[in-house]
Amino acid sequence: MLADALLLSLRVTALATVIILVAGTGLALLLARVRFPGRTLVELLVTLPLVLPPTVVGYYLLLALGRGSPLYDWLKIDILFTWWSAALASAVVGLPLMVQSARAGIASVDPTLEQAARTLGSPEWEVLWRITLPLARRSILAGLLLGSARALGEFGATLMVAGNIPGRTQTLPLAIYDAVQNRDWATANQMVLLLTLVSLVGLWAVRRIEAPRPIKGRQ
């Protein structure tokens, strides 16, 4: 059970991390650099999974992915109760952490540097790729680590949309729940310790990234 749950958790977290990186960076850029009607509403919707109970997030995902939704009825895409839906649920709950951190980093980039690149003839994509993202990379990486760690530990939303099917959708948090229900304390302790160590390493890495770097030549 431990090996299967671990491998599935790694697969789910890997896909969730890709979704968090792409969607989170795009949303962070949009919110940090673009003024548009409804911007506050987008901010609220992106942050909402941080304060909603995971089961409520999972319920909304059920409505978005299940029968009656455009994804199911029009596109004939059915990913409920598969590891794909587990990855999507994990990405949704981890996304706000990525957006908040990346947005702060992008907003802190000096606009004069970007404008200087434009003045020298650089197109917008080059300004973004060579100026904005490199200067904000520490905040982006910190947000990605936090979002991925949150995705790895996701339980409630995953249970709602993917179920708890051993070998198919049972991630480590769900396996811990089953082990406790079955009074298999040895297995539960192993999985709890593993998740705790991974979370500690992730938090340590974030703190290392966020720590200010010493200026060369200063004692």
Q: Encode pLDDT of 31-50 as tens digits.
A: 998 888 989 999 999 999 99
151 pLDDT band (50/70/90 cuts)? very high
- Torsion on CA atoms 113, 38, 54, 17, rounded to nearest 10: -30
| CA dist list (Å): 173 to 141, 152, 194 | 24, 8, 11
Give the total residue count for the chain.
Answer: 219
Whether 31 maps to a domain, the answer reads: yes
Q: How many domains does the chain have?
A: 1
Give residues with Cβ within 8 angstroms of 40, minimum separation 6: none
Instruction: Evaluate whether residue 69 is within a structural domain.
Output: yes
DSSP string over 79-92? -TTSHHHHHHHHHH
Q: Residue ranges of the alpha helices (H) in the chain?
A: 2-33, 39-51, 54-65, 70-73, 83-107, 111-119, 124-127, 133-135, 137-152, 156-162, 172-181, 185-210
Q: Which residue in 87, 81, 49 sits closest to 66, CA to CA?
A: 81
94-107: per-residue pLDDT in tens?
A: 999 999 999 999 99
Please give the backbone phi and psi of residue 86, each rounded to the nearest 5 degrees, phi first. Answer: -65, -40
Q: What is the CATH number of the domain that holds 58?
A: 1.10.3720.10
The answer for residues whose C-beta is within 8 angstroms of residue 77's C-beta and 6 or more apart is: 71
Position 122 in a domain: yes
Is there a domain that residue 219 lies in? no
Q: Read off the pTM.
A: 0.90
**Would 218 be classed as within a structural domain?**
no
Residue whose C-alpha is closest to residue 99's, from 142, 60, 64: 142
154 touches 93 (CB < 8 A): yes
Whether 216 maps to a domain, the answer reads: no
What range does the domain containing 31 cover?
A: 2-210
pLDDT one-digit tens code per residue, 184-197: 999 999 999 999 99
Q: Would residue 74 count as lying in a domain?
A: yes
**CA 170 to chain CA centroid, nearest Å:** 19
Q: Is residue 215 part of a domain?
A: no
Cα separation, 197 vs 101, in Å, equals 23
Q: pLDDT-derived band of residue 219, with 50, 70 and 90 as boundaries?
A: very low
Tens-digit pLDDT profile for residues 13-36: 999 999 999 999 999 999 998 888
